[in-house]
Amino acid sequence: MPNGSLDKFISENMSVKMEWERLYDIAVGVSRGLEYLHNGCVSRIVHFDIKPQNILLDKDLCPKISDFGLAKLCKNKESIMSMLDARGTAGYIAPEVFSKNFGGVSHKSDVYNWIFKDLEREEIMRIFGDRITEEKEKIARKMVLVGLWCIQTNPSHRPAMIKVIEMLERTLEALQVPPKPLLCLPATTVPETVEDSNETSSFSWPSQFERGTVIGEDTLRISEEDIVPCSSS
């Protein structure tokens, strides 16, 4: 992986002109990888430690999901899984992983990601100033909108990875602004089950949203036959 991890790539490029098209391609590649883990394998694989440090980039900047030390296999594509203890990296753990008051742990816990930008503060545009074009601004806003859907506190309100891919491939105008995630919810407001990824492609609140390349060096190994390209083809 000559280009290292995603966090290294981002930190080294923040001081120069960031190519939002490239970041968009990486985001789609990671989404396809997670969709493959969740629905393309014989048993569903939940990674539980998705973060920029665990996304590796090859010479073509094609993302690979790595480090399966905390991964959990789910037989028969079951939605809710039992957890004896919380797992993951502080700052990236979905709320339901450390507190059942937020709902059941499922593949939706992988959907919860690291995007916390507030569109109202125009943070993305402030970082790049006059260097960002209108087209790049649309790409940036779309990625942030999708990310904000992914960090909904209630797991059932997060998109499944197949829906994340669909949203990323839609136009900015086709997306709705999600409600701001709540840091705390009463247990009675959170459903106990999470539907699988066969929902319709509806993106209106509170509709439930529900392939990519993966590599593993720790507890999980995936054969070459299981690898699929990062490209949409």
DSSP structure string for 96-119: HHH-GGG--BSTHHHH--S----G
Residue among 54, 60, 66 at smallest CA distance from 2: 60
Asked about 49 being catalytic, the answer comes back as: yes
For 55-70, what is the mean pLDDT? 95
Which of 40, 35, 88 is CA-nearest to residue 209?
35
Q: Which helix (H) or strand (E) holds 55?
A: strand 55-57
For residues 103-126, one letter each, b for 16 or more C-beta atoms within 10 angstroms of the residue's C-beta and e for the rest, the string is bbbbbbbbbbbeeebeeeeeebee
If one counts the domains in the chain, the total is 1
pLDDT at 69: 93
Token duo for residue 113:
């990601």
Answer whether the bond into residue 206 is a cis peptide, omega within 30°: yes
Task: Look at residue 5 in the predicted model and tell me its pLDDT.
Answer: 95
For the cut 60, the answer to whether the pLDDT of residue 184 exceeds it is no
Has residue 222 been placed in a domain?
A: yes
CB atoms within 10 A of CB 166: 17
Rg, the chain, Cα only: 17
Residue 231 inside a domain? The answer is no
Q: What percent of the chain is predicted at pLDDT more than 70?
A: 66
Q: Whole-number mean pLDDT of the chain? A: 74
Q: Region 83-103: what's the mean pLDDT?
A: 84
Q: Of residues 25, 49, 67, 110, which has the active-site annotation?
A: 49
The phi-psi region of residue 138 (left if phi > 0; otherwise alpha if psi is between -120 and 50; otherwise beta) is alpha
Domain range holding 159?
6-226
Question: Do 57 and 3 contact (CB within 8 A), yes or no?
Answer: yes
Q: What is the CATH number of the domain that holds 11?
A: 1.10.510.10
| Termini Cα distance of the chain | 22
Q: What tokens were used for 77?
A: 């594509």
Report residue 218: phi and psi, to 5°: -105, -105
Domain assignment of residue 190, yes or no: yes
Listed range (101-115, 122-136, 176-190) with the worst mean pLDDT = 176-190
Is residue 148 a part of any domain in this protein?
Answer: yes
The predicted structure's pLDDT at residue 211: 34
What does the pLDDT average to over 56-62? 95
Q: What is the rounded distance in angstroms from the CA atom of residue 44 to the CA atom of residue 76? A: 7
Is residue 232 assigned to a domain? no
The answer to the question of residue 197 being in a domain is yes
Task: Give the whole-angstrom CA distance, residue 107 versus residue 194.
Answer: 9
119: confidence class by pLDDT, cuts 50, 70, 90: low
The helix (H) or strand (E) run that includes residue 169 is helix 161-169
pLDDT at residue 177, as a whole number = 86
The model's pLDDT over 212-222, given as tens digits with 9 standing for 90+, comes to: 334 333 333 33
Contact 161, 33 (CB under 8 A): no
Q: State the Cα–Cα distance between residues 33 and 207, nearest whole angstrom.
A: 24
233 falls within a domain: no
* Residue 218 belongs to some domain of the structure: yes
189-212 pLDDT, tens digit each: 444 444 444 433 333 333 333 333
